[in-house]
Amino acid sequence: MSHSKILILDFGSQVTQLIARRVREAHVFCEVHPCDVSSDWVREYAKDGNLKGIILSGSHASVYEVDDRAPDAVFELGIPVLGICYGMQTMAEQLGGKVEAGHTREFGYAEVRAHGHTELLKGIEDFATPEGHGMLKVWMSHGDKVTQLPEGFKVMASTPACPIAGMADESRHFYAVQFHPEVTHTVQGQALLNRFVLDICKASPDWIMGNYIEEAVAKIREQVGDEEVILGLSGGVDSSVAAALIHRAIGDKLTCVFVDHGLLRLNEGDMVMDMFVGKLHAKVIRVDASDLFLGKLAGVSEPEAKRKIIGGLFVDVFKEQAAKLKAGDGGHKGATFLAQGTIYPDVIESGGAKSKKAVTIKSHHNVGGLPEQLGLKLLEPLRELFKDEVRELGVALGLPREMVYRHPFPGPGLGVRILGEVKKEYADLLRRADAIFIEELRNFTDESGKTWYDLTSQAFTVFLPVKSVGVMGDGRTYDYVVALRAVQTSDFMTADWAELPYALLKKVSGRIINEVRGINRVTYDVSSKPPATIEWE
């Protein structure tokens, strides 16, 4: 099946990914590629006739500092183009207009006046002035600005500080805005991007996860043929959805390896087995490696050292299983593929777009490494999807909502939620306390009926290996302390501590102290990130 597609050329803005997410929210397929692709590459990309439009992103740089320009083909293919911020400036400059360095930076909230009844902004406004001008509430972040329109363009939007805050050449379907429609602070941003991709580019909104299953299944079958696949199942969203999808495609030719490092949450291992083996009838090898992990962690209290041990052992245990499967244990002919739950942000962030521009923020553990070492081919069926799409796909594949919409859980598990040295006794206490906290977060709702689990982005309990004095009945207790942590965040880079209702905190604290013998004090962490981090280690 071929989809309409939108090409997003990345000039290095931190929010380029958001453009892609907004386009996908309009159910249109899109890809982010570096701005320094060649004109030939763009023409080749457009050759199948599916390319309906191009978006030029913003940049952290000024057109004066860098020589990044859009490949000429962008303006020669006869398809609509939308420039955003730097994308607008380079469009203006490349088509014969002028850009000048601004003396003042315009940063943050702005009100933009729409001009000239363009197709892009027609009927889109937040309010009207008494004179009847349509106004937009937007988010701006720029120093330079366009001071002279290229030939054929007219002014589409303005602010007092930026007389050309938007421009359009409607005969060629070229549009540009100085503000950022992709960020949520621009109230009509999604409406503007929908207008561009659906009405101006006429892309068909056919990127729908329910329908994508069939297409993805066909692709997996074609890639795998009659070979066999191994997948490391962690219980997290990405590996679970990848497993369900691949299982749908090739059934028994998929074997999942689930390494239990003894630092999982209460009953987590059983729940994963119940879902994948009990309900989906997938083949899962459960490796109970908790003694091995806890043994190697004994006496180690430094967080990074613990992470290294857990990560290293995990790879060792998984490799051992994979080698057996590759060798064809149990009458199988041997696996040749390793499946991973790599998702599109991993691909973009790890510079998978092969660009100096695709900002390398972190090298993700999913990309590269293991398959080469194991001599296996790589199968990554979620490579084109954003997290929201992976979740939708998971639900469409029949995975339970609670599993698919779970808070993230770090790879080292409870290993970084037990401060200092990890001991089985501590892990057992923590598991029970944490289960109570999560259960009550799911029980309590706000006035709109949403649960506090869904109202928080991540919530968990931390074990503090210190003892404090308490009193229970007639006796004195001298037991451990736990801290509850709950945060709200959109990107996990910054986070606010959640203002949980006192009634919820009271219930959780009462239950933990009464039900978990060994803990006699519960605290709530009221630190935001930065300067604190979300995890305690």
Binding residues for ATP: 234-240
Q: Cβ of residue 188: shortest distance to ligand XMP, in angstroms?
A: 31
Among 43, 219, 307, 423, binds ligand XMP (CB under 6 A): 307
Closer to ligand XMP by Cβ: residue 189 or 341: 341
Q: Return all residues near 343 (Cβ < 8 A) that are at least 6 apart.
A: 238, 382, 383, 385, 386, 387, 390
What span, in angstroms and rounded, lies between the C-alpha atoms of 22 and 333?
44
Distances in Å between the Cα of 523 and the Cα atoms of 230, 494, 502, 509 are 42, 22, 12, 8
Closer to ligand XMP by Cβ: residue 2 or 363: 363
Q: Are 94 and 67 in contact (CB under 8 A)?
A: no
387 binds ligand XMP (CB under 6 A): no
Joined tokens for residue 440: 């009550």
- Which member of 30, 35, 85, 162 is catalytic? 85
Q: Cβ of residue 273: shortest distance to ligand XMP, in angstroms?
A: 22
User: Could you confirm whether 182 is annotated as catalytic?
Assistant: yes
Q: Are 177 and 91 in contact (CB under 8 A)?
A: no
Residue 439 has, within 13 A of its CA and on its CB side, a CA count of 13
User: Could you confirm whether 162 is annotated as catalytic?
Assistant: no
Closer to ligand XMP by Cβ: residue 22 or 306: 306
Give the DSSP H or E segment for 338.
strand 335-339
Q: Which stretch binds ligand XMP (CB under 6 A): 35-43, 244-252, 381-389, 527-535?
A: 527-535
Q: Cβ of residue 489: shortest distance to ligand XMP, in angstroms?
A: 8
- Which member of 3, 27, 173, 180 is catalytic? 180
Closer to ligand XMP by Cβ: residue 201 or 438: 438
Among 89, 355, 456, 458, binds ligand XMP (CB under 6 A): 458
412 binds ligand XMP (CB under 6 A): yes
Backbone dihedral region for residue 432 (phi beyond 0: left; psi -120 to 50: alpha; all else: beta): alpha
Closer to ligand XMP by Cβ: residue 466 or 493: 493
Give the DSSP H or E segment for 157.
strand 154-158
Q: Cβ of residue 490: shortest distance to ligand XMP, in angstroms?
A: 12
Q: Cβ of residue 194: shortest distance to ligand XMP, in angstroms?
A: 31
Joined tokens for residue 299: 């006496």
Count interface residues toward ligand XMP (CB under 6 A). 11
Rounding to the nearest 10 degrees, give the CA dihedral for residues 208, 209, 214, 217.
140
269 binds ligand XMP (CB under 6 A): no
Phi–psi pair at 528, nearest 5 degrees: -100, 165
Alpha helices, DSSP H only, in 146-289?
Answer: 189-194, 209-224, 237-250, 268-273
Return the residue matching tokens 């040749």. 336
Closer to ligand XMP by Cβ: residue 360 or 533: 533
Query: Per-residue x/- mask for ligand XMP, residues 478 to 497, rule CB under 6 A?
Result: --------------x-----
Q: Which residues are annotated as a binding site?
A: 234-240
533 binds ligand XMP (CB under 6 A): yes
Instruction: Give the active site residues.
Output: 85, 180, 182
Q: Binding residues for ligand XMP, per CB under 6 A?
A: 307, 408, 410-412, 458, 492, 529, 533-535
